[in-house]
Amino acid sequence: MRIVLTFLAVIVMLSASAQEIRYCGQTQATEALFAKYPHLRHENEQSQTDFQAAYEERLANRANRGGGDEEVYIIPVVFHIIHDNGEENISDEQVYSAVEILNRDFAMENEDIEDVVDAFSDLPQPINIEFRLAKRDPQGNCTKGINRVESALTYQGDQDMKDLIQWPTDMYMNVWVCADAGGAAGYTYLPANWLENSPQFDGIVLLHDYTGAIGTSNTFRSRTLTHECGHWLNLPHLWGGSNTPGVAANCDMDDGIPDTPETIGWTSCTLDGESCGSLDNVQNYMEYSYCSRMFTTDQKERMRQAAESNTAFRNDLWQQSNLEATGVLEESILCAAEFRADQQIVCQGTEIQFFDESFHGIQEWNWDFGTFTVSGTDEEVHKNPIVMFDEPGVYDVTLTVSDGIDSIEETKEAFITVLPMDALDAPFVEGFEAGIASETWFIENQHNNVTWELTDVAAATGDQCVRIRNRNNTIEYSRDYLTSSTMDLTGASFATITYKYAYCNRPDETDDRLRVNVSNNCGDSWVLREIHRGITDLPTADPQNAPFVPEGDEWATGEATVDNPDYMVPGFRVQFDFEGRFGNHVYLDDININVFTADNVTVLDLVSGIEMTLAPNPADAFASLSYNMPMDHDVTIVMHDSFGKLIDTMYNGPAQRGENKLNINTAELASGVYLIRMQVGNEFISQRLIVR
């Protein structure tokens, strides 16, 4: 089932921090859910009515409980990082930061508790609830409590994303980290009986840059998880059950908690605010002020009541049997060696950072990179080393970690590819007749198993080409990359990239995209040179719903020209980037990269002194070729297209000493770049002609 959540994204630019501020989406998420499933609204209201009655009874009997609130309830937690290989794929350290801040706030160990205004300074208390990352998964296997799932659903942050992975809610508090939480910083649902029958909705969604205080987040945004855990333990916003802070009517609502004054709600840190006739608790974690410091005593009572209730399985989580099952009481046991790198395909001389993600209790690291090693016990140096491979090649990487007693290792074969700066010769021709050479082409598929592949069902020339079976794609905006190895364009004045492609959309005009990108730094960054869109110039055949296989003339020719001097360097690469939007299959063949080493005149030994000019250039209907011969000699003058194909032999005969001239009819030529080449003996002079 798909639930599209539309959250209110309130944007405030602070003069001090100049950053976008997002707020909680709990109310919007709840309303969107109830709009789709109206029966849940009544069940939710009944749960909250029952909870409020029990809460008021709890407060009335507080003096008789005799300090029973001092027991620390431990809640096992699992983080699911849903990512698209972007910055939302936050590090383990950022997750640890989030958990550390959450526990610090719930234990009232935050240093800024001293900043609470005097009127509320006697209200904060430790909540005595602790959150620990799980060490055992639901099957009892060792885990670090962090899962990573690659999916474009990270940009939706909705129930479809949550359905990708969830651990049992009667064993773990599930937290999903994503690239977009519907415009909110995070959201969850208040505990209610309906969550027992629909546990898939239970848990907390966080925007990646509102998670922890390091990495993509910062201290200013670091209390989001504290706020959402308040909701998860049944705390409403201070102004009541809405998400419209600052509205005067909020004074007529109440959060049901006696020691939090009525308020309209704050989106600024106005510590002397008195919005409903008394001083507001602006520094409360359940406000939007972004200067949160505290929970109140009665909020503590409400959260502990939620933790002790069987509603939504909250009281199952901290039971001894569950703590043992989830491993949170275990000592740090070495059980897995894991690592990743910030890049896996680089050019020689490029730095790569490796990240150790092993668990638990690692004290020593030994990295083997094939031709050198890095080892030691200094966490700052040896845990996440930055290394450089000097020689091209494909390298295995092995990490051995130790807890001081035992050791365990992980080897990833062919994990790092180091390219030379000039792997491909120019000109480069690829028809895929010999397959997709692993040292020539690199395929990156970010979403599913539908990506560039070799096929013999069609070809522009020969018997084979590459294609994406895009009609089988089930993920919108999926991206697939076919990236070349490197070329050295030093000394060139321009290059042309030509290719043949075939595609048809579906009758509903699906808007897929084929882009041609180039890089002058071995793929560290890319610049768009050409784009074909699914409703304009990408289709080469009539729309159809059946799987598309091109026939006959259902191929088109594409061309991109690169003439920026900044790109005439070693490490030049070309990339074909396809963005799928539920269209049909796409095919690619006959890729040619031609390099031209003359801007105006190329002079070789035999023809020293010959000058050749074209005017006008660019040309519309005609161009004139002029050349000055220092001697009488036979010459041949031909025209090639940007594929290198011979278009015309324009002259073959004697040329006299002095000025010679040849008129070229360009009116019937297609727009593009052509090469005019004059042969004198066994040597050549060439110049490009641009036809508009």
In terms of domains, do 142 and 231 share one?
yes
Flag whether 252 is in a domain. no
In terms of domains, do 654 and 552 share one?
no
Helix (H, G, I), strand (E, B) or coil at 506: coil
CATH of the domain at 94: 3.40.390.10
Please report, rounded to a whole number, the percentage of residues in the chain having pLDDT higher than 90: 71
Please report, rounded to a whole number, the percentage of residues in the chain having pLDDT higher than 70: 93
Residue-level pLDDT at 686:
78
Give residue 12's pLDDT band: very low, low, confident or very high (50, 70, 90).
Answer: very low
Give residue 406's pLDDT band: very low, low, confident or very high (50, 70, 90).
Answer: very high
Q: Decide which of 561, 596, 631 is a domain's last residue.
A: 596
Closest CA to 231 of 282, 286, 301: 286
In terms of domains, do 586 and 638 share one?
no
**Has residue 316 got a pLDDT over 70?**
yes
Strand order in the sheet with 672-680: 646-655, 633-640, 672-680, 683-691
In terms of domains, do 312 and 362 share one?
no
> Over the stretch 159-174, which tens digit does the pLDDT of each residue have?
999 999 999 999 999 9
At a CB cut-off of 8 Å and minimum separation 6, what does 437 contact? none
- Domain limits for position 409: 343-419
Alpha carbon separation from 287 to 56, 123, 268, 604 (Å, rounded): 22, 16, 9, 77
Give 259: exposed, middle or buried? Use CB within 10 Å, 0-12, 13-18, 19+: middle
In terms of domains, do 553 and 673 share one?
no
Flag whether 276 is in a domain. no
Flag whether 605 is in a domain. no
Is 408 or 448 the better-scoring residue by pLDDT? Answer: 408
- Write the single-letter amino acid at 679: Q
Flag whether 290 is in a domain. no
> Over the stretch 495-513, which tens digit does the pLDDT of each residue have?
889 999 999 988 877 789 9
CATH of the domain at 648: 2.60.40.2550
In terms of domains, do 555 and 652 share one?
no
Flag whether 507 is in a domain. yes
Instruction: Tell me how crowded residue 669 is: count the other CB atoms within 10 A of its CB.
Output: 19
> Over the stretch 27-81, which tens digit does the pLDDT of each residue have?
999 999 999 999 999 999 999 999 999 999 999 988 777 655 789 999 999 999 9
CATH of the domain at 571: 2.60.120.200
Instruction: Give how many domains the chain has, as a whole number.
Output: 4
- Write the single-letter amino acid at 371: T
> Over the stretch 619-673, which tens digit does the pLDDT of each residue have?
888 899 988 887 778 888 988 876 667 788 899 989 888 888 899 998 888 888 8
Residue-level pLDDT at 131:
98
Both tokens of 628, joined, read 């000055």
Average pLDDT, the chain: 90
In terms of domains, do 579 and 544 share one?
yes
Nearest-angstrom CA–CA distance, 317 and 168: 10
Both tokens of 355, joined, read 């990240």
In terms of domains, do 457 and 586 share one?
yes
In terms of domains, do 396 and 471 share one?
no
Flag whether 278 is in a domain. no
Residue-level pLDDT at 4:
32
In terms of domains, do 94 and 204 share one?
yes
Alpha carbon separation from 650 to 289, 382, 653, 663 (Å, rounded): 77, 66, 10, 9
Q: Could you tell me the pTM of the whole model?
A: 0.72
In terms of domains, do 412 and 433 share one?
no
**Has residue 604 got a pLDDT over 60?**
no
Nearest-angstrom CA–CA distance, 490 and 520: 11
Residue-level pLDDT at 658:
83
In terms of domains, do 437 and 569 share one?
yes
Residue-level pLDDT at 478:
81
Kind and range of the H or E element at 27?
helix 26-36
Q: Decide which of 295, 325, 355 is a domain's last residue.
A: 325
